[in-house]
Amino acid sequence: MNATITFNLPEEADAHQAALDGPKWKTCAESLDQTLRAWLKHGHVFKTPDEAIQAARDRLYETMQEAGSLGLYT
């Protein structure tokens, strides 16, 4: 099976980059999922929902940094 995705560059440069970064985003989502699962299964130290949300955002940012050069697309 073959699949081909075609982009009109430079007009679709953001979509092209998003497609190239797909595996990195998948890794980020899986990593965040594992962190959230561990917090649910083994407990956590968060006292408020805001603390938990901020910790999740921090973890997401860390995984994005580890994956390297992931930007947000419009």
The whole-number average pLDDT for the span 20-43 is 93
Checking 69-72 for CB contacts under 8 A at 24+ apart, the result is 70/21, 70/24, 70/25, 70/28, 71/17, 71/21
> In the chain, where are the structural domains located?
24-39+46-66
Position 65 scores a pLDDT of 85
At 34-69, the pLDDT tens digits run 999 999 999 999 999 999 999 999 999 888 888 876
What per-residue confidence (pLDDT) applies to 36?
A: 96
Residue 10 dihedral angles phi and psi, to the nearest 5°? -90, 0
Residue 73 banded pLDDT, cuts 50, 70, 90: very low
**Looking at the predicted structure, is the pLDDT value of residue 4 above 90?**
yes
Q: How many residues does the chain have?
A: 74
What is the pTM for the complete model shown?
A: 0.75
